[in-house]
Structure 1
C-alpha cells in the first residue's frame, strides 16, 4: 500500500470538495496554512474515533475535534432535576459529559504496519465548529483481510499541533471467495442512565474480549426522549447525547479497535415511534436524520450490504426514513422500508452466493411483540408489508437467511410457526434496560431471556459444509444460548 496507491475521500456533515487549492494546502508546511485572525484553542479528540462502512478495500474513519482532552465532569445527580425537561433551554456545552466542538485541522495516517513506518497520509483537512468539529475520511485501496493501523493528529487553524493523538486499528473484509472464518457482534439499545459502570457498559469490554471482525449497532444508540438529564428537543442537546455516550472510556476503546456499522431507530432519530414530518420540541425529524449521519461513519445510502468472505453477507436496513405514519390504516400502500429499499433488498439477496444471508433490522420482523405495539413488521400496524416480506423470504432465501433485530429489550430466538424463519433479538446493552417482554411464547420461542448483553455469530468453514453459530451473551460475555445452522 504505497503512497501512490492510497486514495481518500473527505466528508463533513456536508460534502467537502477538495480541489486543487485543497490539495495545495495539504502539501504546504504548517506555518504556511495558518488561518487569518486571532489564534484559536488547540483542539483535542475527546470523543475518540469510529471506523465504519468497512469493505475489502475501503473504510470510513470518523473523527471529531473538541475543546478539551476529556469530557466535562459534573454532578450527574443534579441532572436528575432536569430529567424530562423539554424546554430546550439547557446549555448543552456545559452539561456533564459534554465535549464541545472546536475548529481545527485533522490528519489521518494509516498503514498495515503497527508502527506506521509504511504510513499513508491523508491531507490536513479543516473542520469547523459550525460542522460540530466532525470529519469523515474515506480510505480506499486498502489490502483485503488485513489489519489497518491508524494515527489521528490534530492542530489548530493557526497550525499549533495538538498534544492529543489517537491511535486505532481495524480489519478489512476478506475477498468474497475467501473461505474465511468470520465473527460479527450485534448490539442493541443503549440508555446512558442504565450503564453498569462509570466508564461505560460492561458489554463493551466483553465484546472486545471476543475480538470480532466487526460489530453492528442496531439503533437507539442514544435516547433523545428518555434518559438522565434534559430531553433532546434541540439540535445541540441531541449532539450532547452522542458526546456523552461515546466519550465514555470503554466505548472509545472498543470503537477505536473494531469496525462498526451503524443503524438508527426512533429514539436516536427523534422520539418514540417517530416518522418523517414529526417533531420533538424544536428538533425536527430531518434534523435528527442529519445529526445521526454526522455522528457515525456514513455512506451514501442508509441501507446497504457488506460481504465478509465466502460465507457471510450482511444487510443493514433503514426503518425510519421511508416509513408511512404509524397512524395510517394498514394496507398495500403502508410501508416501513419503502418500495426502493425493498426492491434493492430482494435484488441483492437473489444475487448473493454467500453461505449465510444476515439481515440486521432495527426492529423485529418475526416477533412476537407486545400487543400494544404498532411500529414494526411483527405488529398489526404494518401487517400487510410484514406478511409480504416474510412470505418472500420463505419462498426465496429461507434456508440461508438469519434475521437479527434490535429495539426489543429482551433476548430471544424465534422461529415463525408456519414459515420457519429464524429471528434473534440482540437485547439491550445492559441488564438495567431489560424490560417489556410479553412473556415466553412456546409457539415461537426457542429461547427467551429478559436480560442485557449482546449477540454474536460465527461462520466456521468446515470440511463438508459451512456452519453458522449464533450466540446470545450476557453482559459479562458468558454464553446464555447458542444455535447452530448448517447447510
Structure 2
C-alpha cells in the first residue's frame, strides 16, 4: 500500500520524537527539559529546504551532537528508488546545523528527501531519519503558486499551544504551494518572550518559554536561540518539511529599525554597537535558514531566483546597505535604502530577465509611511507627497529605468507593517510621473501584534485599493488580524492572481493581473 505525501509527513514529524535544543529535549508544555540519551545522534529541529532551482535545492538539518547528515533523494514518497548523498557535517562551530546542496534533480518534479544523522566516528550509530519534500522549478511553462508573509513571534506573542501554536502555517500548507517567500522578520531577536501576555478581554496568551528567548539577543547563541524557539512549533516544522523556502531578512533578525553604524539607545542592551550585533545576527541567520550557502564573499542575501519562464523572484536587502534613518529629505541619492551596488545589480538583473513576471520582494514598503523615533523614517517614504527626496530618489531612478527599458510585469511584495493591503501606483496621480503603473501587495503578520494602517505617501501615486487592519494597536494572534498572501500564475493565460488571506485561510481580496507583452 503506497503512502500519500500528507501521510508521509505526519509520520515523519511524529517519528522525530521530542524537540531538542542544546542537548536538552524541550517539553512542548514548557516543563523542565530531560537529558538526551547518549548514543545515536538525533535530528533536533525538523528539516528545511530552500533556494530551489530546476536541478538543485538546499536541504537543512540540525543534530544534537557532531554528526553527518546523509541525504536520500527520491521521486516517490515511498523511497523505493533512492540516491544517497553524503551531506554536510553538523559540528559545534555551526551549532550542529548544516546545509547540503542537492544537484542533478529532475526539473518540475516532486522530490522527496530523507535525512539520517550518522555518528562521525562510528557509522553504525545512526539516528532516526526525518523525511521532507520540495518541488523543483519547471523548465517549461507550468502553473506556479506560492505564498508569502513575515513577522513571526513579535510583540511578545510566541507559541501558545492551547491556541493552536503558529496555526497560520497549517493554512498555508493546505494550499500546497510550490514555495514560501518569507519577506523578513522571521525572528524577533529584540523581543523577549514572557510566560503570559494579558489580552484586552482579560484572557491570557500563554507562551512556551526558553532561556534564550527570555532576554534580547546579543550573543551568537542568543540569536541562534530565536530560530530554535520558532522551530519548537509543530505547524512550522510540518510546513518547513513540506514546502521549500525563499528567505529574506529585515530588522528584527538583529534589532528594531537598525541601520549600519547605529549606536543603540536601548537600556535592554549591554552591547549597543549595531555593527557588532549585526555580524552575530547574520551568522545565526545563515546557520538556521535554508539559503544556498554562499552567494558572494559577504554572504549577501539579495539574489534572484528563476522559477521557469513565467516567474523570477528578486529578493532585496533593504537593511544591510541602507543609509541612516533620518528625516529623509536629502536632495541627493546617498545610497538610499539599497546602497549603490545593490541598486545597480537590481537594474542589471531586471533588464536580463526573460520571465513573464518579475516579483520584487521588498522587505520594506514603498509607500506606507513607517516612522522611527526622533522624527526619522524607517522605510522609503516620509509622507510629504511631493517630489522625490531622500530614499525616494533611489526608487524614482529605479522606476524610471524600468520604464525606459520597457521591463514589463513587475509586482512588488512586502510585509513589515503588520496588516494586509493592496496599493496601485498610478503615474497620473503622482508627484513623480516617469514610471509605468504597477502594484504593491502587503500581507502579514504571521504570529505577532497587528496594527492599524499607516499613512500612504503619494509621491509615486500610490492608491490604497484594499486594506484590512485592526482598529487598535497590537491586536494579538488570537484575532483574525494575521495575514498571508498567495500568488498564482497560469501557464495557459500567463495571468497572475494575487489573493490576500487571513489566518483561517479565507480570501479577503483578490486581483487578477493580465500580462503586458
> Shared fold (TM-score greater than 0.5)?
yes
Task: Say if 2:368 is the partner of 1:367.
Answer: yes
Q: Give the TM-score normalised by the residue count of structure 1.
A: 0.78
Q: Is the 8 A contact 1:367 1:414 kept in 2?
A: no
Task: Say if 2:45 is the partner of 1:44.
Answer: no
Tell me how far apart the structure 2 counterparts of residues 413 and 309 of structure 1 sit (CA, whole Å). Answer: 26
CA shift at 1:277, angstroms? Answer: 3.9
CA shift at 1:348, angstroms? Answer: 1.6
1:162-181: CA deviation from partner (whole Å, max 9, x where unpaired): 44311001100001xx2211
1:329-358: CA deviation from partner (whole Å, max 9, x where unpaired): 733223221222212211121122222111
1:110-154: CA deviation from partner (whole Å, max 9, x where unpaired): 121222232111126532123200111011111100111111101
1:180-228: CA deviation from partner (whole Å, max 9, x where unpaired): 1100110211126425751531210100110000011111011111231
Q: Give the direction of change, closer, same or farther, for the CA distance of 1:124–1:220 in structure 2 (3 Å limit).
A: closer
* Paired position in structure 1 for 2:485: 455
* Paired position in structure 2 for 1:184: 146
* Paired position in structure 1 for 2:280: 287
* Paired position in structure 2 for 1:72: none
CA shift at 1:248, angstroms? Answer: 1.2
* Paired position in structure 2 for 1:332: 333
Q: Give the direction of change, closer, same or farther, for the CA distance of 1:402–1:373 in structure 2 (3 Å limit).
A: farther
User: Structure 1 residue aligned with 2:97, among 128, 134, 137?
Assistant: 134
User: Structure 1 residue aligned with 2:255, among 251, 268, 271?
Assistant: 271
User: Structure 2 residue aligned with 1:107, among 46, 70, 92?
Assistant: 70
Unaligned 5+ segments in structure 1 are 1-38, 67-101
CA shift at 1:230, angstroms? Answer: 1.0
Tell me how far apart the structure 1 counterparts of residues 348 and 102 of structure 2 sit (CA, whole Å). Answer: 28
* Structure 1 SS opposite 2:92: coil
* Paired position in structure 2 for 1:423: 440
RMSD: 2.4
Moved more, 361-370 or 407-416: 361-370
Q: Give the direction of change, closer, same or farther, for the CA distance of 1:65–1:468 in structure 2 (3 Å limit).
A: same
Tell me how far apart the structure 1 counterparts of residues 61 and 262 of structure 2 sit (CA, whole Å). Answer: 30
* Paired position in structure 1 for 2:168: 203
CA shift at 1:394, angstroms? Answer: 4.4
Count how many residue pairs are aligned between Structure 1 and Structure 2.
Answer: 408
Q: Is the 8 A contact 2:149 2:182 kept in 1?
A: yes
* Paired position in structure 1 for 2:381: 378
Q: Give the direction of change, closer, same or farther, for the CA distance of 1:393–1:41 in structure 2 (3 Å limit).
A: farther
User: Structure 2 residue aligned with 1:296, among 257, 267, 289?
Assistant: 289
Q: Is the 8 A contact 1:453 1:474 kept in 2?
A: yes
CA shift at 1:239, angstroms? Answer: 0.7
Q: Give the direction of change, closer, same or farther, for the CA distance of 1:471–1:195 in structure 2 (3 Å limit).
A: farther
Q: Is the 8 A contact 1:215 1:259 kept in 2?
A: yes
Tell me how far apart the structure 2 counterparts of residues 258 and 361 of structure 1 sit (CA, whole Å). Answer: 21
Q: Superposition pairs for residues 52-201 of structure 1, below 5 Å?
A: 52-66=50-64, 102-123=65-86, 125-159=88-122, 161-175=125-139, 178-191=140-153, 193-195=156-158, 197-198=160-161, 200-201=165-166
1:273-305: CA deviation from partner (whole Å, max 9, x where unpaired): 112344654462122112111111123231111
Tell me how far apart the structure 2 counterparts of residues 56 and 276 of structure 1 sit (CA, whole Å). Answer: 36
Tell me how far apart the structure 2 counterparts of residues 475 and 125 of structure 1 sit (CA, whole Å). Answer: 36
Q: Give the direction of change, closer, same or farther, for the CA distance of 1:366–1:441 in structure 2 (3 Å limit).
A: closer
Q: Is the 8 A contact 1:48 1:247 kept in 2?
A: no
User: Structure 2 residue aligned with 1:406, among 402, 407, 415?
Assistant: 415
Q: Is the 8 A contact 1:111 1:119 kept in 2?
A: yes
Q: Give the TM-score normalised by the residue count of structure 2.
A: 0.74
Q: Give the direction of change, closer, same or farther, for the CA distance of 1:329–1:156 in structure 2 (3 Å limit).
A: farther
* Paired position in structure 2 for 1:354: 355
Q: Give the direction of change, closer, same or farther, for the CA distance of 1:61–1:281 in structure 2 (3 Å limit).
A: farther
Moved more, 51-60 or 411-420: 411-420
Q: Give the direction of change, closer, same or farther, for the CA distance of 1:447–1:196 in structure 2 (3 Å limit).
A: farther
User: Structure 2 residue aligned with 1:387, among 380, 396, 415?
Assistant: 396
Tell me how far apart the structure 1 counterparts of residues 406 and 157 of structure 2 sit (CA, whole Å). Answer: 38
CA shift at 1:439, angstroms? Answer: 5.6
Q: Give the direction of change, closer, same or farther, for the CA distance of 1:125–1:223 in structure 2 (3 Å limit).
A: closer
1:221-275: CA deviation from partner (whole Å, max 9, x where unpaired): 111112312111221111111001023111110001111010011111x101112
Q: Superposition pairs for residues 13-24 of structure 1, below 5 Å?
A: none
Q: Is the 8 A contact 2:381 2:457 kept in 1?
A: no
Task: Say if 2:276 is the partner of 1:260.
Answer: no
Tell me how far apart the structure 2 counterparts of residues 161 and 351 of structure 1 sit (CA, whole Å). Answer: 49
Q: Is the 8 A contact 2:68 2:90 kept in 1?
A: yes
